[in-house]
């Protein structure tokens, strides 16, 4: 692999900009898995650093160590020049570090407001002689404070709704507000944009730039090349647990970053032609759902659905799956929240792989499961989808986010479905895996499946879809054929704007 090395922290501009964060030879293992191997890199204060690399490269692990969730086996981390050994995230928070996690850490039974103030509640001291926990939380003042922050940063979320009732993009914004509320000096954001739409991404990064200009330091983990190029100052690359390169964003290109991440050239702009199916059958028909909503999906087509979350997507998925229950068709379903609806985290990767497919003929012999056949098939799929580590016995929870996604995708595509309902199918997967999943969607389409693609990634929608529907206020406000609408115009249409 070509190396763009800067292995040791070089405090070249330390006089002007001291380092906010320094990793020095940090190693972290989980049993036999070396998640971080002798990692060294440093981030000057007042800059935005992109941390990139393939799925399972060790990015989240390194960030969790910095946040006090994991303890390094060896090496040390300096924060503002001082060695730190957090005992828990509480120590990190007290020292001005905030983290937005790849998989949200929200209490789903509480409201957005309670989640935001959790750990830093102010109490109404109406009963001075009563111990603090029995006093009332001052939610009114907290509400005002949060609204002021939300307004300053242009983040619009309902604060009094229980988190479980919020769509995933809203939950993401609650996570972001939660750290802004604590006013940290160092912000770690682990794939914060995976479920945000382009206008929301722009708002987030405008805010991050504001924070940087106020002197805050930001480390952001992302797989999205455009974000990296448009909004960050420097890029650090991880590969298979090692820190393998560093580059100034100003001298990077999409191709160069992709190459640094996966060690080979990737065709980032493949040409996709329509499928040719004779007399395509209708695989999904919805009539009169939502606000007079009609939808027809045929074999051999990808129907993209664009829209800001909450404009009817979840209802659409619900109707599509419900309708299909009545037919005997095989349906592949990639949910937007893999932890919630896609995986049993405490079961092995192998068991997750046949989840919902356990009654398929090829997996059964009478009342018995054909374990050998299942293992053989999954072994092949792990290789094909590059699911790492190649250990089928590990629990789903022990895989990195992107590798968990690949387990779900491999299972659902493996059904050879007639209908695929794919919600953000490439959420959290790396550049190579994005291309692979896109190829697989096209392959499924070309063999005659009908695909409903719901994605916050407009590039994904415009690139893959044969037809595009735009949802706004639970109505279809636009319908376009391939090539008829640009990403920019699509962004406007889904916000209710004129084209
Ligand atoms: N709690 C855990 N137990 C066991 N292994 C783990 C655990 N957390 C992470 N790992 C392993 O450590 C390695 C690094 O995982 P990590 O989550 O840091 O990757 P990542 O770079 O964030 O990947 P992604 O882009 O998919 O989120 C992986 O091989 C993963 O399987
Ligand atoms: Mg991760």
Cβ(389) – ligand 1 distance below 6 Å: yes
Distance CA 62, CA 71 (A): 10
**253 and 140, same structural domain?**
yes
Cβ(169) – ligand 1 distance below 6 Å: no
Q: Which residue blocks in 272-385 are alpha helix, DSSP H?
A: 313-326, 349-354, 371-384
Q: Which atom of ligand 1 is nearest to the CA of 62?
A: 18
Mutate to test the pocket of ligand 1, among 386, 388, 398, 409 (most ligand atoms within 8 A of CB): 398
Distance CA 405, CA 403 (A): 5
Q: Return the H-helix or E-strand segment holding 288.
A: strand 282-289
Structural domain contains residue 10: no
From residue 367, how far is each of 358, 360, 361 by CA, in Å? Answer: 11, 12, 11
Domain termination site, one of 245, 262, 279: 262
Structural domain contains residue 14: no
Cβ(404) – ligand 1 distance below 6 Å: no
What pLDDT does residue 311 have? 79
**435 and 410, same structural domain?**
no
Distance between Cα 215 and ligand 2 center (Å): 26
Distance CA 134, CA 344 (A): 37
**425 and 377, same structural domain?**
no
Number of neighbouring beta carbons within 10 Å of residue 122:
12
Cβ(57) – ligand 1 distance below 6 Å: yes
Cβ(399) – ligand 1 distance below 6 Å: yes
Strand locations in 387-449, DSSP E?
419-423
**88 and 165, same structural domain?**
yes
Q: What angle do CA 457, 338, 206 make, to 5 degrees?
A: 40
Distance between Cα 398 and ligand 2 center (Å): 11
Q: Which residues pair with 177 in a beta bridge?
A: none
What pLDDT does residue 61 have? 97
Structural domain contains residue 2: no
Q: Which residues of the chain have pLDDT under 70?
A: 1-16, 121-136, 325-326, 497-499
**448 and 307, same structural domain?**
yes
Cβ(398) – ligand 1 distance below 6 Å: yes
3-state secondary structure of 289: strand
Ligand nearest to the CA of 55: 1
What pLDDT does residue 131 have? 61
For residue 231, the number of C-alpha atoms closer than 13 Å in the C-beta half-sphere is: 25
């006090």: which residue's tokens? 68
Q: What contacts 345, CB < 8 A, 6 or more positions away?
A: 339, 395, 396, 397
Mutate to test the pocket of ligand 1, among 36, 54, 60, 261 (most ligand atoms within 8 A of CB): 60
Q: Return the H-helix or E-strand segment holding 52.
A: strand 48-53
**Which residue's CA is minimally distant from atom 1 of ligand 1?**
398
CATH at residue 453: 3.40.50.300
Q: Which residues pair with 49 in a beta bridge?
A: 219, 234
**Which residue's CA is minimally distant from atom 18 of ligand 1?**
58
Q: What contacts 449, CB < 8 A, 6 or more positions away?
A: 283, 299, 300, 332, 417, 418, 419, 420
Structural domain contains residue 3: no
Q: How many domains does the chain have?
A: 3
Structural domain contains residue 11: no
**402 and 309, same structural domain?**
no
**56-88: b or e for each residue (b if 16 or more CB lie within 10 Å)?**
bbbbbbbbbbbbbbbebeebebbbbeeebebee
What pLDDT does residue 127 have? 62
Ligand nearest to the CA of 405: 1
Cβ(63) – ligand 1 distance below 6 Å: no
Q: Return the H-helix or E-strand segment holding 213.
A: helix 198-213
What pLDDT does residue 4 have? 41
**Which residue's CA is minimally distant from atom 12 of ligand 1?**
35
Domain termination site, one of 230, 262, 294: 262
Distance CA 212, CA 301 (A): 44
Domain of residue 359, residue span = 339-415
Q: What angle do CA 63, 232, 221 make, to 5 degrees?
A: 25
**174 and 57, same structural domain?**
yes
**Which residue's CA is minimally distant from atom 16 of ligand 1?**
58
Mutate to test the pocket of ligand 1, among 26, 55, 56, 244 (most ligand atoms within 8 A of CB): 56
**394 and 310, same structural domain?**
no
**220 and 79, same structural domain?**
yes
Mutate to test the pocket of ligand 1, among 61, 239, 390, 392 (most ligand atoms within 8 A of CB): 61
Structural domain contains residue 91: yes
Q: Look up residue 280 and give its DSSP letter.
A: P
**Which residue's CA is minimally distant from atom 27 of ligand 1?**
401
**384 and 318, same structural domain?**
no
Domain termination site, one of 415, 433, 455: 415
Contact 456, 437 (CB under 8 A): no
Q: What angle do CA 50, 172, 202 make, to 5 degrees?
A: 55
**274 and 257, same structural domain?**
no
Residue 58 phi, psi dihedral angles, 5° rounding: 110, 15
Structural domain contains residue 204: yes
**256 and 166, same structural domain?**
yes
What pLDDT does residue 451 have? 97
Cβ(53) – ligand 1 distance below 6 Å: yes
Longest dimension (CA), the chain: 80
What pLDDT does residue 132 have? 58
Distance between Cα 414 and ligand 2 center (Å): 25
Distance CA 405, CA 475 (A): 30
Do strands 97-100 and 186-190 pair parallel, antiparallel, or not at all (unpaired)? parallel
Distance between Cα 391 and ligand 1 center (Å): 13
Is the full-model pTM beyond 0.85?
yes
**Which residue's CA is minimally distant from atom 24 of ligand 1?**
55
Structural domain contains residue 7: no
């Amino acid at each position: 692999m070509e190396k763009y090395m800067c292995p040791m922290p070089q405090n070249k501009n330390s006089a002007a900009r001291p380092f906010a964060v320094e990793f020095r030879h940090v190693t972290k293992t989980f049993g036999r898995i070396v998640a971080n191997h002798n990692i060294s890199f440093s981030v000057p204060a007042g800059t935005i650093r992109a941390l990139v690399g393939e799925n399972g490269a060790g990015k989240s692990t390194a960030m969790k160590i910095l946040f006090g969730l994991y303890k390094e086996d060896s090496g040390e981390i300096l924060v503002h020049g001082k060695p730190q050994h957090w005992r828990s995230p509480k120590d990190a928070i007290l020292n001005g570090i905030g983290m937005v996690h790849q998989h949200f850490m929200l209490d789903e039974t509480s409201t957005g407001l309670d989640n935001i103030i959790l750990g830093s509640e102010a109490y109404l001291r109406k009963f001075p002689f009563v111990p603090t926990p029995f006093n009332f939380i001052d939610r009114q003042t907290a509400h005002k404070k949060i609204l002021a922050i939300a307004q300053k940063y242009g983040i619009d979320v309902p604060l009094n709704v229980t988190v479980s009732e919020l769509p995933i993009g809203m939950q993401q914004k609650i996570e972001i507000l939660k750290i802004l509320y604590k006013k940290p000096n160092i912000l770690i954001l682990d794939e914060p944009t995976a479920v945000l739409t382009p206008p929301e991404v722009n708002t987030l990064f405008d805010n991050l730039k504001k924070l940087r200009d106020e002197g805050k330091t930001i480390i952001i983990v992302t797989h999205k090349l455009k974000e990296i190029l448009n909004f960050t100052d420097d890029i650090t690359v991880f590969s298979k647990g090692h820190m393998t390169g560093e580059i100034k964003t100003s001298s990077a290109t999409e191709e160069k970053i992709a190459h640094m991440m996966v060690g080979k050239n990737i065709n980032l702009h493949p040409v996709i032609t329509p499928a040719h199916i004779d007399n395509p059958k209708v695989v999904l028909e919805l009539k009169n759902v939502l606000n007079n909503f009609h939808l027809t999906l045929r074999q051999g087509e990808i129907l993209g659905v664009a829209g800001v979350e909450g404009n009817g997507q979840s209802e659409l998925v619900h109707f599509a799956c419900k309708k299909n229950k009545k037919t005997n068709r095989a349906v592949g379903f990639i949910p937007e929240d893999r932890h919630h609806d896609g995986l049993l985290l405490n079961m092995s990767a192998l068991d997750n792989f046949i989840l919902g497919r356990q009654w398929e003929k090829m997996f059964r012999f009478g009342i018995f499961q054909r374990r050998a056949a299942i293992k053989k098939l999954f072994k092949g799929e792990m290789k094909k989808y590059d699911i790492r580590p190649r250990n089928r016995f590990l629990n789903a929870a022990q895989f990195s986010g992107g590798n968990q996604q690949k387990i779900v995708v491999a299972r659902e595509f493996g059904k050879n479905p007639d209908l695929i309902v794919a919600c953000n199918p490439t959420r959290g997967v790396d550049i190579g895996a994005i291309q692979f999943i896109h190829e697989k969607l096209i392959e499924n389409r070309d063999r005659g499946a009908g695909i409903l693609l719901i994605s916050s990634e407009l590039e994904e929608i415009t690139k893959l879809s044969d037809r595009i529907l735009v949802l706004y206020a639970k109505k279809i406000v636009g319908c376009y054929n391939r090539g008829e609408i640009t990403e920019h115009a699509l962004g406007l249409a889904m916000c209710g704007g004129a084209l």
